[in-house]
Amino acid sequence: MSLDYAALSDKLTSVLALKGSPVAVKLIRTESNIPEGLNHTNEVLRHCEMVQKARGGSKFYATVEQHACKGGAGMLGMIEIPENIKSGEFYYKLGRFSSVEHAGETMQAVPGVDFKTYATAYAPLGETPFEPDVVVLVVNPRQAMMIAQANVYELHSRNTADFSGIQSLCGDAVAAPLMRDSINFTLGCSGSRKYAKVSEEELIVGIPMTILPKLADALQKLA
């Protein structure tokens, strides 16, 4: 049975009073699977910036050449994660960790997908021409609380917020929900706040498409 993405989007937007659209994200494995009618972006952007563009109404797909953040591209399966990021050296040199060893341990724990991705696709959920893997919401704390309450209504006994403040909209909000088939809450990262303009009062929720319909129903029942 095909889902009514427009109805799902309307339900989420109205119950949560969202500012901007829920964002449909799909990791496309092969060139032949690119949805018809979806344009290839010419802009070179970070994944988090692409999410924000779709939140504002754009729909498009991006291949590796359009991904400015190599850490994000690595977590999404588009490239091998660069060695200086995987080892922690990159973030250690930025002064973000007390040692390169600790930085490396943290980077090894950042969620990533276990397959090769040819392209990433983005669209407002209500207008998506593809079946999403994950829906990303940029929300305020009260909206996040409502999602958390809906998540435990019948789906889970507890919520998960697994993050390190690094690789947030890519690893935490897309790779983790997709690979674990569960919602993840994350507080963003320096890159997403600087480049994608995630505001200081906003945080991010990644929801696998497999549970979104039940979550939306629970939100409506609890509203």
pLDDT at 221 over 90: yes
119 Cβ partners below 8 Å, 6+ apart?
28, 31, 34, 40, 61, 62, 63, 78
Tokens of 47: 């994944």
Confidence at residue 2, expressed as pLDDT on a 0 to 100 scale: 79
pLDDT at 1 over 70: no
The model's pLDDT over 13-51, given as tens digits with 9 standing for 90+, comes to 999 999 999 999 999 999 999 999 899 999 999 999 999
Distance CA 166, CA 186 (A): 10
Out of 5-14, 87-96, 112-121, 159-168, which region has the weakest mean confidence (pLDDT)? 87-96
- The whole-angstrom separation of Cα 223 and Cα 212 is 16
**DSSP at 211:** T
d(CA 170, CA 37): 25
Q: Which domain holds residue 60?
A: 5-222
Overall number of domains in the chain: 1
Average pLDDT of span 99-127:
95
**3-state secondary structure string across 47-96:** HHHHHHHHHCCCCEEEEHHHECCHHHHHHCCCCCCCHHHHCCHHHHHCCC
pLDDT at 122 over 80: yes
According to DSSP H, which parts of the chain are helical?
5-16, 47-55, 70-75, 83-86, 89-93, 100-109, 141-154, 176-180, 190-194, 212-222
With bands split at pLDDT 50, 70 and 90, how would you rate the model's confidence at 155? confident
Rounded distance between C-alpha atoms, residue 219 and residue 165, angstroms: 27
* pLDDT (0 to 100) of residue 48: 98
pLDDT digits (tens, 9 = 90+) for 69-104: 999 999 999 999 999 999 999 999 988 899 999 999
Q: Do residues 105 and 7 touch, judged by C-beta distance below 8 A?
A: no
